[in-house]
Structure 1
Amino acid sequence: MRDRINIIIYSLCLIASVISLIIRYLVISQPNDFIKDITSGLAFSGATFGIGGFWQLLSDYGWKSIKCKILYPNAKVYVSLSYLLNIKLAGEDRYLLIKGGKINQYQPVGGVYKNLSKSIDKDWEAESRTDRSNPLDLRFFTKAKYIPEIKKWFISGKEREFGVWREFQEELIESTILKGESFKHIDVEFLRTEEKMMSKENRFKDEKYHTIFYDIFKVILTPEQEREIKQLYDNNSFSDKYAFVEADEIYKECFNNSHTKIGQHTKLILNYKQ
Structure 2
Amino acid sequence: MSKELNRFLGYVIVLLCALGYLFYRYLYLNPVTDFHKEILVTAAIAILSTCLIGIYETIKCQGKYFWTSVKCSLFIPNKETYVSLSYLLRIKLPGSERYFLVKGAKVDQYQPVGGVYKTVGNKNIYKEWEAHPKSDVNNPDDLRFFVKAKYIPEIIRWFKSHRDRETDVWREFYEELLETNILSQKNFKTIRTEFLSTQENILSKQNRFNNEQYHTLIYDIFQLELTPDQFQELEKLFKDNTFTEKYAFVTKDEIEKECFNNHQLKIGQHTKFTI
Confirm or deny that 1:91 pairs with 2:95. Answer: yes
Which residue of the partner structure matches residue 156 of structure 2?
A: 151
The one of 244, 250, 253 aligned to 2:249: 244
Matched AA of 1:74: N
2:65 aligned with 1:51: no
> Structure 1 residue 11: deviation in Å?
2.5
Shift of 1:248: 1.5
Contact 1:130-1:136 at 8 Å conserved across structures: no
Q: How far apart are the structure 2 equivalents of 1:234 and 1:23? A: 81
Contact 2:133 2:146 in 1 (8 A): yes
- Alpha carbons 2:90, 2:221 under 8 Å: kept: yes
- Summarize the Cα distance change of 1:14–1:205 in structure 2 as closer, same or farther, 3 Å threshold: farther
Native 8 Å contact 1:21 1:43 kept in 2? no
| Structure-2 residue corresponding to 1:12 | 13
Percentage identity across paired residues of the two chains: 48
Q: Say whether residues 1:141 and 2:142 are aligned partners.
A: no
- Judge which range, 141-150 or 49-58, deviates more: 49-58
Deviation by residue 1:96-139 (Cα, 9 ceiling, x = unmatched): 01111122111100001111121212211111225243221111
Contact conserved, 1:13 with 1:50, CA < 8 A, in 2? no
Change (3 A) 1:172 1:30: farther
Q: Which residue pairs with 2:239 in the alignment?
A: 234
Of 75, 81, 106, 2:85 maps to: 81
3-state SS of the aligned residue for 2:93?
coil
Kept in 2: contact 1:110–1:168 (CA 8 A)? yes
Distance apart, 1:229 and its partner CA? 0.3
When normalised by structure 1's length, the TM-score is 0.91
Output the amino acid matched with 1:110: G
Deviation (angstroms), 1:29: 5.2
Q: Which residue type is aligned with residue 113 of structure 1?
A: Y
Q: Deviations over 1:50-90 (max 9, x none)?
A: 3333333336x343233222221221111111110000002
* 1:111 equivalenced with 2:112 (yes/no): no
Q: Secondary structure at the match of 1:81?
A: strand
- TM-score in terms of structure 2 length: 0.90
Cα pair 1:130 1:137 within 8 Å, conserved = no
Separation of aligned partners in 2, 1:145 and 1:96: 38
Selected match of 2:221 from 212, 216, 227: 216
1:31, CA displacement in angstroms? 4.1
Residue 218 of structure 2 aligns to a residue whose secondary structure is strand
What residue ranges of structure 1 are gaps of 5+ in the alignment? Answer: none
2:115 alignment partner, SS class: strand
Residue of structure 1 equivalent to 2:126: 121
Q: 1:145 deviation in Å?
A: 1.4
Name the aligned partner's letter for residue 258 of structure 1: H
- Determine if the alignment matches structure 1 residue 175 to structure 2 residue 185: no
Point out the more displaced range, 8-17 or 250-259: 8-17
Q: Match for 1:164: what amino acid?
A: V
Separation of aligned partners in 2, 1:269 and 1:21? 55
Q: CA RMSD in A?
A: 1.9
Which 10-residue stretch deviates more, 247-256 or 213-222? 247-256
SS in 2 for 1:169: helix
1:16 and 1:43 in contact (8 A); partners too: no
1:24 equivalent in structure 2: 25
Give the alignment of 1:28-47 within 5 angstroms.
Answer: 28=29, 31=32, 33-34=37-38, 35-47=40-52
- Structure-1 separation of matches of 2:188 and 2:59: 48
Q: How many residues align?
A: 269
Structure 2 match to 1:100: 104
**2: CA distance, partners of 1:101 / 1:65:** 35
C-alpha change, 1:77 and 1:204, in structure 2 (3 Å) is same
Structure 2: which amino acid aligns with 1:78? Y
